[in-house]
Amino acid sequence: EEGRMVNDAAVAAQQGGEPTAEQAAMTGAVKILNAYGLTNLAELAQQKTLDTRSTRQIVVVGEVKRGKSTLVNALLELPDASPVDVDVTTSASLHMVPESDAHPRGWADLVFPGETRRVPGSELAEWVTQRGRYVLDPATEALPTRAVVPVRTNPFDGAVIVDTPGTGGLDSTHAQLAQGSAQSACVLVVVGDASAPLTRPEMEFIKS
């Protein structure tokens, strides 16, 4: 019982005053989780509340060809922020961040294992789409697992919007990348086909 109240005092001390409405809501949620025996989830919620390194992220996931990139572009009010084509799917998660001195518009940062490489924004599709020049080139030694794309508009008060690869299909690596992004989400948006029920891979991804 004593441990359950630690979050109240820690958050208040960290902020230098009384808990905010959001912190009070979190405290109430933690109490409910504990009451139902979901102590592990309650502890995770407390940790995330106190983790100042966390970045607010809206992560969009779903099977291939469900319109994830189109939705992301609509949310950002930018038709070309994420590459969209009937025969093109993203092969890396795309993190749409507000433009800044660290992330100037017109450029994209490609994240490789152990390396980040800045390229002109016009080259983004060549690295992260199935028909991209570097994706198809057998001489390409490695492809990025993530790309940071600065955008000029963001109606979500600076939250990062993440467009993920398809969760199913033939490439299990895409599902792993999408799952990794989903685990860091503050809001998880699952995009489905309105004309059909969710598929087995979609349901398994949501459950996991």
- Enumerate the β-bridge partners of residue 108: 119
DSSP-derived 3-state class of residue 44: helix
Give pTM, 2 decimals: 0.63
Using one digit for the tens of pLDDT, what is the confidence trace for 97-136? 888 899 998 999 999 888 899 999 999 989 988 788 998 8
CA 85 to chain centre: 21
Using one digit for the tens of pLDDT, what is the confidence trace for 169-192? 434 555 565 666 666 667 888 888
Q: How far apart are CA 113 and CA 162, in angstroms?
A: 19
Interstrand relation of 57-62 and 146-151 (parallel, antiparallel or unpaired): unpaired
Least confident residue range of 49-53, 121-125, 156-160, 187-191: 49-53
